[in-house]
Chain A
Amino acid sequence: MIRTPALDLFPVLPELILAGAGILALLYQALAPRPKVEGHLALALAGLAAAAGASIALWDRTGDPTVLAGAIQADKFAVVARLVILAVAAVGLLYGAHYYDRSGDEARGEFYPLVLFATMGMTLITAAADLIVTFLALEILSLSLYVLTGLSRRGQATEASMKYFLLGAFSSAFFLYGVAMAYGATGTTRIPAVAHALAGQTGSQALALTAFGFLAIGFGFKVSAVPFHMWTPDVYQGAPTPVTAFMAAATKVAAFGALIRVLDVSFHPLAWSWEPVIWVVAALSVIVGSVLAIAQSDVKRMLAYSSVAHAGFILTGLTSSNQDGIRAALFYLIAYAVMTLGSFGVVMLVSARGEEQTSLASYAGLGRRQPLLAGLMALFLLSLAGIPPTAGFIAKVGVFGAAIRAGHWPLVLIGVLSSVVAAFFYLRVIVLMYMQEPAGEQLEDRAVLPRAALAIPAALTLVLGVFPQIVLGVLDKASVLRW
């Protein structure tokens, strides 16, 4: 008989709830005579809410930080990351419900379970304490996203889906190779155990470093860091906008969550060796993302490049391998999630029925035509550009501060100068909205509900900008990785 260890499933309750909700959604779609959008939405949101509740309940959990035979890390970091992802998913679902309702695609019932499963993968990855769990979670979220990306009638979506899949699978192989190398180096894939082995010099340095390299490549792909970013613009542009919003915001949080664990736990003993890699990748991301965004004429594509740049900023924070860096990165991720959701939400509302109006030109005169949308968009763009008093400003100060504290001021210099370049293309949209006349007739989506949903990111953008301590106070605790 195989003796199974004591089951403490409490720490993975959120994932279990999500998986359950996903299966229920699937069943609803399959068994209900006429599955309704409202039904799906209610079910999915309830699942998210329950998962969130379960996560919050984990906040004060004491006891062994590593549970389930070393597979899961039950710390505050995971709680915060989960909550962010769940919130993003909720907004993403709201967007999606509206989007598929509007586009007249036969009710995409699969959207809801897929988002729930993807969310589960994302929350799981941030809590993973074993590299193989990380890998599995990574695959869960990736496979869901490949499908979600193709979840549209448009040819672009299919193309994006294929590109995403091929490159994603390619990068998965690298990631897995990294896991293998880590195993080879230390004889284990438990994230804390790897660290212990490396700190105790019992592992092989060479293999460990190689493992780090491969894992960094895999994560680099997921977080869209240069030069592993090239799928990003195509996929962001091709995917249905709600999926883009969800993917852009949540994947980044999830992937960075896992990356932070890997870097700051597993490979913490090798920090001196990996910091330069992150440094260079951060610099490249910031520069390439900012510069290439300038030449774009499609808003989604532009935001995709901007997301590359933001990945670079977060990495900038991570060059400091301590609590400062983690806290800064977490805050940045929260801020980024908020503003990305917000901006893609506006993009969705502007883009009319399908995705006809995602070109920059369709933003001309938006300030006149739809002052509310334009105002919100301006707010999100300013936040993305890092102008106070928005969340983006505090976020940038945080990551730059962390990097400077670690002595990486040249990187920060690159970062701030790239922000200036980046400001240019954010401003360009604002120029279009407020300083130019509308060009021709535009289709307009006047739905109220998604607009109301936008109030959440808008409010958060300001609140995080003016009273960041609310969140930072929480992050002070969450940025301590217990292992």
Chain B
Amino acid sequence: MSAAGLSAPPDSFALVWLVPALPLAGAAINLFVGKRLGRWAGWLASALLAGSFVISLAILSHLLGLTADSRLFVQHLFDWVTVGSFRAAADLRIDPLSVTMILVVTGVGTLIHVYAIGYMDGDPRYGRFFAYLNLFAFFMLVLVLAENYLLLYVGWEGVGLCSYLLIGFWFERKSAADAAKKAFITTRVGDTAMMVGLALIVVHVGTLDFSSVLGSDAGLTKGAATAISLLLFAGAIGKSAQVPLHVWLPDAMEGPTPVSALIHAATMVTAGVYLVVRSHALFELSGTALTVVLVIGLVTAIYAATAALAQDDIKRVLAYSTVSQLGYMFVAAGMRAYAAAMFMLVAHAFYKALLFLGAGSVIHGMHDEQDMKEMGGLRRRMPLTATVMIVGALSLAGVIPLAGYFAKDTILEIASTSGRTLVYVLGTAGALLSAAYIGRLIFLTFFGEERSEHARAAHESPAIMTTPLLVLAAGAAVGGVLATGVEGKLPTFLEPVVGVFAEGGAGLAKGALVAIALVVTATGLLVTWFLYGSGRVDWLAVRVRVAPLHRFLQRAWYVDDAYAAVVGTPAKAAAAFTAYVVDARVVDGAVNGVGILVRRLANAGRRVQTGFVRNYALAFLLGAVAILLYVGVRF
């Protein structure tokens, strides 16, 4: 493995293989000897990932030292699959996009690892937890560093595996086990489409290497590009929990909270966005595919936001919020504003990880209570958590000048300036909803009266958990410096990969946009304050009054139920029919039927053998006459 790496120039690029390798080593160690390490398992895992982060930083600095055009490096590790003309190697790719991603993954990941040291304290499978987390980091890094789609797919499925393991970490609970399975299978639906997409690429281009497929000489037709793009996007839909494959993500909250933060907020779910951005050449060639991305993203953004409004489980609110926010990223990507999408990805990684970890802290303090109806007034009991969560919430809601504002505002601005008025309007509506649900979360959790024993007995989390919160909060707050509008630092950095966004001119003036955004955010927050924070409204009573609507939203438009009815039940019935009727009766029945037939024949034949010697003679004579008849015919 290292041989190829060492042959490369002696700079930090050569160490890129260590970025995934370190967490892999951690995973291996923790898997096999994690039990012996005790609490050190967590530290080891965090340290190794931190090591990756450091290397990533080194790579970044090295990369920044190069001219924009030469910011690309491919490290060949070994030949993986070589069959006929088809080749896929284990190659790692360094370019601004992948470096952005590994920084997020290792950076935010490390923080979450550290947080988990405290959060998972005392769990009987402590070591294994970190093994899984490290393994996840490994696969995620492979995903973003891969130089071809096949290797990307390895990471893609690998993170799915880890997601499965981590959601089902507390597998004694049936709900956790179910959720894990659901997550894996639902995403696999998309993955399969993606696999077909890869096959299609090979058929058309002959290789899966990014440099060939995404290059200008790939020679794809528009139709082929559309098909490939849509199939790839199907994978993204699954992994990034977009409509209609979003159903797994809310259930995935069964996993330990650090998992939700790392996998289901900051990194894995954003892989879809990464995929679209990475493959933007294909999507652009198609055009149609981009529109699909845009529509799906938009629908998801609004749909999930409405569902988030009605959840009582603090993590489920955040889950739907994540779905919605991912929708925004796809909206951006769909408008070719890849840099904006990426910026939102980064920003979201910070504030959503922060919110999740904060929620985890709350849950921790509430002795594993997640229902917001049981909370209230927690700002007094856990001030630090409350503070950082409010920062995160405001960032998400898009309050100037927090990172979230820049992220969302850029997207809406692009929608407006590029003349996509409908997108802008709906996006803005979504922003309103976002502000509302996050406001509701904050007010229900931290404000008002304590509504339960647990709430009254809640306590602040240990420093090992709060420290990462603070770091993340800082990021969520000041992350905006990376990108202010289309010409920010991040867009510039990404330019060699994704190009420059060059549409616009139309639409509302900058000032108007800012104003509208502020009004919308403020409205959302104020309304929820009035409803949940002011104490003047008996929100539980209101809920009863609008029960059907509430139910509709809480059950997320009954999509799960519809799936169960339309897909689940008939599929089960079909399987049962195939197994018990077709297989057992028809196919096997034919087989056994032959057996029975022969047996019947045998019994019938037995009856001919009567024991009467004269019958035997009759048969004899019959044969004799027949033979003589035959020879008679012959002469």
Contact = CB atoms under 8 A, between A and B. Distances in A.
Contact between A and B in the complex (any CB pair below 8 Å): yes
Name which of B606, B619, B624 has the most chain A CB atoms within 10 A of its CB.
B624
Contact of A167 (B602, B605, B616, B627): B616
B620 interface: yes
A273 B631 CA distance: 8
A171 interface: yes
B635 A205 contact: yes
A100 interface: no
A288 B627 contact: no
A248 interface: no
Given A167-B617, A210-B631, A234 B602 contact: no
Contacts of B611: 234
B634 interface: yes
A212 interface: yes
A294 B599 contact: yes
Contacts of A234: 609, 611
Interface in B611-635: 611, 613, 615-617, 619-620, 622-624, 627-628, 630-632, 634-635
A13 B307 CA distance: 107
A209 B615 CA distance: 27
Interface in A265-307: 273, 276-277, 288, 291-296
B7 interface: no
Q: Which of A216, A217, A276 has the most CB of B within 10 A?
A: A217
B623 A217 contact: yes
A291 B598 CA distance: 7
A268 B367 CA distance: 101
A277 B631 contact: yes
Contacts of B631: 209-210, 212-213, 273, 277
B592 to A, nearest CB: 13
Contact of A295 (B605, B613, B615, B630): B605
Interface string A217-237: 100110000111011011000
Contact of A170 (B605, B615, B617, B635): B617
Contact of A291 (B601, B630, B635): B601
Nearest to B599: A294
A292 B606 contact: yes
B607 to A, nearest CB: 9
A128 B606 CA distance: 37
A234 B611 CA distance: 8
Interface in A376-400: none
A137 B611 CA distance: 29
B603 interface: yes
A77 interface: no
B623 A295 contact: no
A369 interface: no
Interface residues of B, number: 25
Nearest to A208: B635
Contact of A209 (B599, B605, B606, B635): B635
A166 interface: yes
B630 A213 contact: yes
Contact of B620 (A170, A213, A216, A296): A170
Given A205-B635, A294-B598, A228 B613 contact: no
Nearest to A204: B635
B628 A230 contact: no
A262 B509 CA distance: 114
Nearest to A162: B613
A171 B620 contact: yes
Interface SS of chain A: helix
Contacts of A216: 627
A230 B602 contact: no
A291 B630 CA distance: 26
A107 B434 CA distance: 109
A213 B631 CA distance: 7
A163 B616 contact: yes
Interface in A147-171: 162-163, 166-167, 170-171
Chain B interface, DSSP helix/strand/loop, else mixed:
helix
Contact of A230 (B619, B624, B627, B634): B619
A321 B6 CA distance: 77
A295 B620 contact: no
Interface in B245-290: none
Contacts of B622: 227
B616 A291 contact: no
B602 A292 contact: yes
Contacts of A221: 620
B623 A294 contact: no
Nearest to A273: B634
A226 B623 CA distance: 8
A451 to B, nearest CB: 33
Contacts of B609: 230, 233-234, 292
A327 to B, nearest CB: 26
A174 interface: yes
Interface in A213-263: 213-214, 216-217, 220-221, 226-228, 230-231, 233-234
A217 B627 CA distance: 8
B628 A292 contact: no
Residue among A233, A276, A295, A296 with most chain B CB within 10 A: A295
A171 B620 CA distance: 8
B338 to A, nearest CB: 66
Contacts of B623: 217, 220, 226-228
Contacts of A171: 620
Given A206-B635, A276-B630, A217 B602 contact: no
Contacts of A205: 635
Given A217-B623, A292-B606, A295-B606, A277 B630 contact: yes
Contacts of A276: 630
A231 B611 CA distance: 9
Q: Most chain-B CB neighbours within 10 Å: which of A166, A170, A217, A227?
A: A227
B626 to A, nearest CB: 8
A159 to B, nearest CB: 9
A462 interface: no
A141 B605 CA distance: 30
A222 B143 CA distance: 80
Contacts of B627: 213, 216-217, 277
Nearest to B627: A213
Contacts of A206: 635
Interface string B566-608: 0000000000000000000000000000000011011101100
B630 A294 contact: no
A421 interface: yes
A253 B190 CA distance: 71
A428 to B, nearest CB: 12
Most buried by B among A206, A209, A234: A209
B624 A166 contact: no
Contacts of A162: 613
Contact of B628 (A163, A166, A210, A273): A210
A292 B620 contact: no
A233 to B, nearest CB: 6
A144 to B, nearest CB: 20
A122 to B, nearest CB: 22
A205 B611 CA distance: 39
Of the listed residues B606, B627, B632, the one surrounded by the most CB atoms of chain A closer than 10 A to its CB is: B627
A212 B156 CA distance: 80
Contacts of B634: 209, 273
Contacts of A273: 631, 634
Interface in A20-70: none
Interface of B: 598-599, 601-603, 605-606, 609, 611, 613, 615-617, 619-620, 622-624, 627-628, 630-632, 634-635
12 contacts: A170-B620, A213-B628, A213-B630, A214-B624, A217-B624, A227-B623, A233-B609, A292-B609, A293-B602, A294-B598, A421-B598, A424-B598
Q: Give me the 8 closest cross-chain CB pairs, A-B, nearest first.
A: A227-B623, A230-B616, A295-B602, A206-B635, A209-B631, A294-B602, A213-B631, A292-B605
Given A214-B628, A217-B627, A277-B631, 8 more contacts: A167-B616, A174-B624, A213-B627, A213-B630, A217-B620, A217-B623, A227-B623, A292-B606
